Amino acid sequence: MEQTETAGRTTSRRSFVLGGLAVGAGTIGAGRLLANPSSAFGSGGLTPGDAAILRFLAAAEILETDAWQQYNELGGIQDSEVPGGSGSAAYTAALQVLDSDMDQYIHDNTEDELTHFTFINAYLVSKGADPVNLDQFRTLPSSKATGARQIGRLTNLMQLTVDTSWWTRYRSRTKNPDFGDTFPQAVPGLSTGQFPGVPRNDGDLAPKAHLQAIANTAGFHFAFIEQGGTSLYPSLAQRVTHPEVLRILLSIGPTETMHFQTWQDKAGNAPPLTDPTNGLVFPDLNAPPFDGEDFQTNLIMPEPTTFLRRTFPVCSIIRPTETDGAAMGAVKALTANGLFRGQSPAFFAVLHDLAEAADAARHGT
């Protein structure tokens, strides 16, 4: 009986296609054929797994946006596309030591993140699913430096512990985090203490080497944030079911990679220095012991490395892309980064639940 129905549908579908082609493409009939009536999604709805993955990504994008907006208020371009703040001339100039277009890039990255969460939330609503709203957790203080808005924030950019191992991870030709390999820090000092990525107040605008250390910290933090997105999207794409949800992940993910590559290039221009106020050292990445191909600052494309099996030839790839626990891994990395220092237990509980649901999704379920 089922077979007969299926066969009947197949037959009518074929003749319908042929009929459609006979009168030209783009007929209503041809469009209807693309909707598979036996699919698991019902009338355009999402599977619970797809909704969970999109909700986690919406949350991650809201958090990214919150961080980027703080950077833009002080060091980017404040305009109608990215409103808020009035800029800090001294901080903006320190960032421009890394690249004269830093303010433009900060602005554009911020706008991208705004559109990512706004789109994903709108898509969720269009499918009858709940969007994500973290407004109740906008409780963290703003920078008191001139140029920043005085509003509650989701993220803390003033006590960062920046993991800079992405620098050597993308330069290694033999190691891959998906095999459990670990990578040395490019800026060891940044990965242990707590350092501001924006001036905390106008007192942080001097001495010059202190302000430059803050700008350098931001430079490495930008790439840390965006390499995370670069891995998160391909990792979670392996779990989605609906082709359109896959398309969303495959269309947003590579923009994170475009951000990452830009920031990797700029971080390489961070001038070597020691912050006279706290001893934080930014080493010369082209001088011993940091010289050699792993550190060379003009290597901003991924070195090919081992992928899937050690016996395969090396391949230039995003790394990591392991899908198991990818969402929770992202939460842990951002938390260790200090981005949520001062947040409430309720905030961590919500983030934990969103990540757990995304990681429980399976392709085809």
Q: Are 200 and 145 in contact (CB under 8 A)?
A: yes
**What SS3 class is residue 195?**
strand
Q: What is the secondary structure of 253-307 as a DSSP string?
A: HHHHHHHHHHHHHHHTTPPPEE-TTT--EE--TTSTTS-STTT-TT--SPPPB-B
Q: Which of residues 276-335 bind Fe ion (CB under 5 A)?
A: none
CB of 327 to Fe ion, least distance (A): 14
Residue 61: count other Cβ atoms within 10 Å of its Cβ: 24
Q: How far is the CB of 86 from Fe ion (least distance, A)?
A: 24
- 221 interacts with Fe ion by CB under 5 A: no
Q: Distance between CA 19 and CA 247 in Å, rounded?
A: 29
Q: Which of residues 225-244 bind Fe ion (CB under 5 A)?
A: 226, 229
**Judged by CB, which is closer to Fe ion: 145, or 157?**
157
- Binder among 55, 107, 116, 266 for Fe ion (CB under 5 A): 116
Which candidate, 89, 54, 60, 57, places its Cα nearest to that of 75? 89
Q: How far is the CB of 254 from Fe ion (least distance, A)?
A: 11
Residue numbers 186-215 binding Fe ion by CB under 5 A: none
Nearer to Fe ion by C-beta: 226 or 275?
A: 226
Closest CB to Fe ion among residues 7, 336: 336
In the complex, minimum distance from the CB of residue 116 to Fe ion, in angstroms, rounded to a whole number: 4
What residue type is assigned to position 192 of the chain? T
Nearest C-alpha neighbor of 184 from the set 204, 199, 170 = 170
Stretch that binds Fe ion, among 9-17, 100-108, 223-231, 321-329 (CB under 5 A): 223-231
Contact range with Fe ion by CB under 5 A, out of 139-147, 198-206, 251-259, 294-302: 251-259
- Which DSSP string corresponds to 220-264? HHHHHHHHHHHHHHHHHHTT--SHHHHHHHHHHHHHHHHHHHHHH
CB-nearer residue toward Fe ion: 59 or 213: 59
Q: C-alpha distances in angstroms, 151 versus 67, 70, 112, 278, 284? A: 13, 10, 21, 28, 37
Least Cβ distance, residue 256 to Fe ion (angstroms): 5
Closer residue to Fe ion in complex, CB, 205/236: 236
Rounded to whole angstroms, what are the CA distances from 170 to 6, 269, 283, 302? 49, 17, 18, 5
Give the residue with the Cβ less far from Fe ion, 68 or 167.
68
Total binding residues for Fe ion by CB under 5 A?
7
Nearest distance, CB of residue 259 and Fe ion, angstroms: 5
Alpha helices by DSSP H, listed for the chain, are 2-22, 28-33, 48-75, 89-95, 102-126, 166-169, 208-237, 243-267, 326-336, 345-360
Give the per-residue contact string, 62-81, with Fe ion (x = CB under 5 A; - = no).
--x-----------------
36-65 residues in contact with Fe ion (CB under 5 A) are 61, 64
Cis status, amide bond into 320, omega within 30 of 0:
yes
Shortest distance, position 340 Cβ to Fe ion, whole Å: 17
| Cβ nearer to Fe ion, comparing 46 with 334 | 334
Contact 211, 203 (CB under 8 A): no
* 256 contacts Fe ion (rule: CB under 5 A): yes
From the CB of 225, what's the least distance to Fe ion, in Å?
A: 6
Smallest distance from Fe ion to CB 114, Å: 9
- Sign of the CA dihedral 170, 172, 176, 177? negative
Contacting residue, 113, 178, 204, 359, with Fe ion by CB under 5 A: 113
The pattern of x and - marking residues 133 through 152 that bind Fe ion according to CB under 5 A reads --------------------
Residues near Fe ion (CB under 5 A): 61, 64, 113, 116, 226, 229, 256
